[in-house]
Amino acid sequence: MTTTPATRQPCPPGTCDCDRDTLAEQANADPRILLLTLHEEKRLLARLEAISTLEELERMQLRMYEQLGIRLAIDTGFGEVRSVRGIGIRLLPQPGLCRKTRKSIPAAIRRSLKEHPEITFALLNSQDLLRDA
């Protein structure tokens, strides 16, 4: 007996710009994002908030891409980075990714960076921004 995995419920019409309908129409669209149900999203956000090292963050980025097709870009701003707000955290555009999810994932990562400043320092050091310090 085979069971189909649960998929995310569609957003109410007119409230989201996730382009869920285009997933079926596009040949190169990635339907894995539909596996992110509300329950799984809450688990993902809790896991992102619990990150305590840069290696964990990089591993979560890789797992999010492998399992859901979510591409996460984390980089520093063009000027000085004085706080966590100076670090750019964004999800690359993807059909089927809900508007609320696009906001909640970076927010969860920012909360983790605020809780563990050593991740921020390691991220800055990995991009060679602390070489003169």
Boundaries of domain holding 53: 30-126
| SS3 label, residue 132 | coil
- Bridge partners (DSSP) of residue 131 are none
Say whether pTM exceeds 0.85.
no
- State the CB neighbour count (10 A cutoff) for residue 113: 22
Residue 16 amino acid letter: C
Rounded (10°) angle between helices 38-49 and 54-68: 160
Q: Is residue 24 part of a domain?
A: no
Q: How many domains does the chain have?
A: 1
* Residue in the structure block whose two tokens are 């069971």: 3
Q: Is residue 41 part of a domain?
A: yes
pLDDT tens per residue, the chain (133 residues)? 556 677 777 777 777 777 777 776 776 777 888 888 899 999 999 999 999 999 999 999 999 999 999 999 988 766 656 666 778 888 998 888 888 889 999 999 999 999 999 998 888 877 765 555 5
Q: Is residue 115 part of a domain?
A: yes
Q: Is residue 15 part of a domain?
A: no
